[in-house]
Each structure stands twice: as structure tokens, then as C-alpha cells.
Structure 1
Amino acid sequence: MKAIVCHEFAPVDRLRYEDVQPRALRAGEVRIAVHAAGVNFPDSLKAEGQHQIKPPLPWIPGSETGGIVTEVAPGVTRHKVGDRVMGVSGADGGGFAQQIVLPQERAFALPASMSFAQAAAVPVVYGTSLYALKQRARMQPGESLLVLGAAGGVGLATVQLGKAMGARVIAAASTPAKRELALQHGADHAVDYTLPDWREQVKALTGGKGVDVVYDPVGGDAFDEAVRAVGWMGRYLVIGFTAGRIPTLKVNMPLVKGYDLVGVRYDVWRDGWWSEARANLEQVLAWCAEGRLQPLVSARYPLERAVEAMRSITGRQVTGKVVLEMA
């Protein structure tokens, strides 16, 4: 099979598109013919050796796939050959390939209305966001939610999930087109977080109280302002640092306002508490089937152009999700 393979921790340009021998199934596993694979910011970090997890080499990136079951091992009861499924890998990846082998519990039956590309757009961003809002922020209906980077893949997922969970959503994005996209996907308000007074707009939208929950995958300058827009007993969710700069915080701010600064490490929680993580993803798929969530695939690349797809994300050139599609 063809795959994208990392042989050394180096710039993603060093990834290779090459032939790889598929491995045999073990008991309880399924083989999936991959039709689409989601591309995420951490794929590049891992390939370049800049992530907390450094997978053993050689390594195939990709942790979310959509495809068809082509083979099942003894002991498999959840799936059969021909099933349309969404696959969720662990830290071992494997998604940027024409085939992937997964434990049966890591594959999910797809709603009839969901495409393979949409399936590949779900596990990381919706999984991260639901864990952040539900388990980490304990967000309640009627609370206010500020989403930074609201037009990106994880940002749009959070906007949609926030509305599905009954929150009042304020989307922060850098351009009129991105703000309009967030509004189209359910945000109640949108603000330009490149303006010097944008946090005052957020406070005004909350009647001067500040927001209950902030979802921040951006860091950098946006963090410096957003931490001042949190209300009493709020929760500030630290997701990542796509802006490049890891910010610092004077801890008198959360002290004075009594708010929590909460780290969100989804991959570790997902793999360590899989039964809860699986239940979250089943909820996401149910909401997709009901039309309450609509994964947006904004860019598609063939497998052999995986590096270009990864660069589009690290360069912050895209909205929604980027996927690889197999010929």
C-alpha cells in the first residue's frame, strides 16, 4: 500500500510517499480501506519532533479516517466486511495510508448521511472540543462561550458544539469572511480579535460580566487579551498555540476573578479513558445524524500531496477541516 512515512524528526518536507507492507491482523482487529484521512496541526508537530509525544520511527501520521472494513480478525463482533466506518487511531497514527488496522472498538459505524471525508473531519476536532466543554469546563446551558480562532477546524467544531449544548457563542476571528463563516455555523456574535479594543466588545456582549468559558487554541496575543475578558468563576481552556508564541499569565488575574485556567490534553485522556472518549464520539455522531453538527471539509488533497496539506494548516491558510482523499 501507499503511505506517507516519517523516517526522521525533521521538517515535513522530509516525509516520504512510499510503499509499505500492510501488517497481518491480530485478534479483535479490523482492516479498513481508507477513503479519507483528516489532517491536523499536531501531525506536523509530531513529524518535526516538536510534540510531547515522539512516536517510534518509522511512523505514519494521521489519527482519523473514514473508510470501509475489508477484513476482520477472530473475535470481532462490532463490525463486518463492507461496513462504512470512522476510525480513531491512538498515538501510533497510521491514517495517512491506503489501509489502516485498528482494534474493533476504535471504529465507529457511520450515519448514512455522512461522507468519508466528513468522517475523517470528526474525531480530533469534535473529540477535543466536546471533552474540553463537557469534561473540563463543565459548561452548562445558558452560559457564554468565547471561541478564539473560530473559523479553523477546531474552532468551528467548538462553535457548533457550543450551540448544541445550549451556550451563547461569541466567535473571535481575524477577517470578515471568517467571522461570517462562524456566524453561519451557529455563533450568536462575532468579534474581530485583531482590534485593540476587542475584549471590551466581548464584555459588552456579556453585559459587562465577562464570559463563562473561553476556548483558546491560538495563544499568543489573543490570549493576552482574552484572559482579561473572563467573568467570575469562569473557565479558560488552553487548547494549543497555533499563533506560535506560548503566552504567560500573571496569576493574580485568575485569583481576583476566581476563574480556572484549565489545560486540555485530549490525546492522553482519550487513550487513557477510552470508554468515556468513545461515548463522547458516539454523541458527536448522533448529533451529526440529527443535523445539529455539520463538519465542514474546506480543502481536499490526494495522499501524495500530504505535505502541502500539512503546510496549509501550519500556515493558517484554511478554514474548516483539511482531508486527504485516497484514489
Structure 2
Amino acid sequence: MKAWQLHEHGEPAEVLKLVDVPTPEPGPGQVLVRVRAAALNFPDVLLCRGQYQVRPPLPFTPGVELCGEVVSGDGIDVGTRVIGTPALPHGALAEYALMSVADAFSAPDSLDDAAAASLHIAYQTGWFGLHRRAKLQPGETLLVHAAAGGVGSAAVQLGRAAGARVIAVVGGEEKAQVAAGLGADLVIDRHARDFIAEVKEFTGGTGVDVVYDPVGGDAYTGSARCIAFEGRIVVVGFAGGTVPTPGLNHALVKNYSILGLHWGLYKQHDLGLLTTAHEELVRLADAAQITPLVGGTMPLDEAPAGLTRLGAGQSVGRLVVVA
């Protein structure tokens, strides 16, 4: 089979090589799937750079999210269409990948392969962040950074589905138009306007109840300046490249909470919650309350170019490699 492999760390376009390798054999508790679509995630870029918290031994095939069709293994019927995370080092940027049965979920019939491949990580993360960690309530105001990206666009849609008012912060006019199309109540282009002032004006000076921050850096610092009394800042990641160092005295005097979110840990602590979240996400997808934003598709041989665009912040929604 054809697969992109990494023999050294670096920028995706420089270190990924498309090679012919044997099709892997599923072990106990695993299935082999034919990859129908692989959604590109920022962790794939970090895996290539050697900067992700998980560092598979070289060589390996990246690709942390897919929609596939089961072709062999025990525990799931052959021919079943599934979504989820593959078992590295046999990642999704290949014609076939391995998955743990526990990490494979039924693909919603309401979504095509590209959209289904984009449902799992971003929307699971959003569901846990907004509902499990922040306990977002109807009528509250939610601020989402990087709202036109894969993770941010999921949070915008989930916030709207939960009955919240959603403020979307983006970088650039094109991304602002995308966020508006997702149904955000207010869209702020941080390149053109001061999002802190805009948030305070929109909320009548009270600030936002929940912040969903996959960016870090200045996004986090500004969020702390416009968080409401008893507000919650959900720290999702640091795509901006800077890990903030929050002043806990500021959290004390303003009476807000800083909540970390590492979605992957729920696999270790309460796998049943992932099933609960998946069932709710399928319900929302079937009701057209959420639809993964696919910003572009490409064949397997163009995957490194897609990862380059993603790493440079030049994409909206999910870029998806399709078979």
C-alpha cells in the first residue's frame, strides 16, 4: 500500500516521503480499515516537527483522524463505516490504517466521508470543553478564538446548538465571512479591530461567560481582560505558538476559572464519556445543527502541501485527504 512516512523530524513538505509499505495486520482488539478520508489536524504538523506530546518511533505514518471502512479484524463487522483515531505508527495518511476497536465509532449516515472524518476530534474536544468543563448554559455568551479553523468552527456550532450567544474572533476578512456563515452573533477580525473593546461593547461591559481558546498567547491575555464574573476560560491549545503564563492573582480578584482541556485523557479515565459525546454529536449532525466545515479536499499525494497550509494558518475548517 502507499503511505506517507516520516524518517526524520522537520516541516511536513520536507520530511514526508510517499512510499510503498506492507499493509499492516490488525492485532488483538484492532481492525484494519481502508481509509476513505483523513482529516488533517494541527497535531499532524507537530508530529512531523517532533513537537507533539506523543513521539512515535521513526519511521511512522502520521494522520490522527479518519473515516474508513473496516476490511478485517475482530469486534466490528467488515464493511462498517467508522470514524475515529488510528493507532500510530499506522496513521491515516495511507491507503490503509489500523484502529483500536475502542477508538472506532460509527460514521453518521448524514455526513459524507470528508465531513465524517472531520467530526471526531474537533467536535469531541468542543463537546467536552463546553459541556463537561465549562458547563455552558443557554443564554450565556461564548467567545471562540480561531473561529474559522477546524477546532474553532466546531465550538461555534456547538455553542449555537447549546443556545449560547457566540462571539467569533478570526484573523482576516475571508475567515470573518466563514465565521459569519457558521451563525456567530458577532464576528471580530482581530487584524482590523480590538477584540477586547468589541467584546465589552457587545456585552454591555459585563464580559463573556465562557472563552474557548485553542490559540494561547495574546488571545489568552486579551480574554482574561474581558471575562465576566464567574466566567470560565477553557485552555484548548497553543496554536499561536506561545504558552501564556496567567497571573493567578488576576483570576482571584476577577473571580474567574481557568480550565485545562486534554481530551485524550478521557480515553484513559472514562471511555464511556466518549461514547456519550459521540451519540450526542451524531444526533446534532443528523438534525443539521452541526456540520463539519470542510475547507478543501485533496488526493493522498498532496497531503504534505495540505499540512503546510494548515501549519501556516492558511486554511479554514478542516482540510481533508480523500481516497
TM-score, scaled relative to structure 2: 0.94
Deviation at 1:195, TM superposition (A): 4.4
1:136 CA displacement: 1.4
Describe how 1:239-258 pairs up with structure 2 within 5 A: 239-258=236-255
Structure 2 counterparts to residues 30-109 of structure 1, below 5 A: 30-73=31-74, 76=75, 79-89=76-86, 92=89, 94-109=91-106
Q: Are the structure 2 counterparts of residues 89 and 101 from structure 1 closer, same or farther at C-alpha, using a change threshold of 3 Å?
A: closer
TM-superposition CA deviations, 1:229-280 (whole Å, max 9, x none): 1011111111122222223322222111111111111223335432212321
| Contact residue 175 and residue 192 of structure 1 kept, 8 A | yes
Over aligned residues, Cα RMSD in angstroms?
Answer: 1.8
Q: Moved runs in structure 1, 4+ residues, more than 6 A?
A: none
Structure 2 Cα separation of the partners of residues 37 and 89 of structure 1: 10
SS, match of residue 60 in structure 1: coil
Given the superposition, is the C-alpha separation of residues 289 and 55 from structure 1 closer, same or farther in structure 2, using an over 3 Å criterion? same
In 2, distance between residues paired with 1:41 and 1:93? 18
- Give me the whole-angstrom Cα distance separating, in 1, the residues matched to 2:136 and 2:193: 28
- Residue of structure 1 equivalent to 2:128: 131
Letter in 2 for 1:4: W
Mapping 1:138-157, distance limit 5 Å: 138-157=135-154
CA distance in structure 2 between the aligned counterparts of 1:212 and 1:205, rounded to whole angstroms = 13
Alignment partners' CA distance in 1, 2:274 and 2:41: 19
Match of 2:108 in 1: 111
Partner of 1:2: 2
- For the residue of structure 2 that corresponds to 1:266, the secondary structure is coil
Which residue of 2 is the match for residue 291 of structure 1?
A: 288
Question: What 5-or-longer segments of structure 1 have no aligned partner?
Answer: none
Please give the per-residue CA displacement for 1:80-112, whole angstroms capped at 9, x wherever unaligned. Answer: 222222132356561111112223232222222
Give the Cα separation in 2 of the matches to 1:69 and 1:261. 40
Structure 2 regions of 5+ residues with no counterpart? none
How many angstroms apart in 2 are the aligned matches of 1:98 and 1:219?
35
Greater Cα shift, 145-154 or 265-274: 265-274
Pairwise mapping of residues 226-305 of structure 1 onto structure 2 (< 5 A)?
226-305=223-302
* Structure 2 counterpart SS, 1:199: helix
State percent identity of aligned pairs. 39
1:158–1:91 distance in 2 versus 1, CA, 3 Å: farther
Q: Against the structure 1 CA distance between its residues 188 and 303, is the aligned structure 2 distance closer, same or farther, given a 3 Å change threshold?
A: same
Deviation at 1:181, TM superposition (A): 1.6
1:178 to 175, 181, 184: 175
CA distance in 1 between counterparts of 2:90 and 2:27 reads 17
- State whether structure 2 residue 202 is matched by structure 1 residue 221: no
CA contact (8 A) 1:146 1:172 kept: yes
Q: Deviations over 1:164-212 (max 9, x none)?
A: 1121111111223322221211211112223463212101212211111
Distance in 2, Cα, partners of 1:219 & 1:286: 31
> Does residue 202 of structure 2 align to residue 201 of structure 1?
no
Distance 1:239 1:165 in 2: 19
Q: Report the CA distance shift for 1:90/1:135 in structure 2 as closer, same or farther (over 3 A).
A: farther
Contact 1:193–1:222 under 8 Å retained in 2: no
Distance 1:303 1:272 in 2: 34
1:227 counterpart SS class:
helix
Residue identity in the other structure for 1:69: V
Bigger mean CA offset, 262-271 vs 1-10 = 262-271
Change (3 A) 1:107 1:197: closer
Task: Using the TM superposition, name which of 100-109 and 141-150 deviates more.
Answer: 100-109
- Of stretches 248-257 and 315-324 in structure 1, the one that deviates more from structure 2 is 248-257
Q: Which moved more, 1:125-134 or 1:97-106?
A: 97-106
Query: SS at the partner of 2:183?
Result: coil
The more displaced of 296-305 and 31-40 is 296-305
- 2:24–2:32 contact (8 Å) kept in structure 1: no
Instruction: State the AA in 2 paired with 1:55.
Output: P
Equivalent pairs, count = 322
- Secondary structure of 1:235's partner? strand
The CA distance in 1 between the partners of 2:202 and 2:86, in whole Å, is: 40
Aligned to 2:186: 189
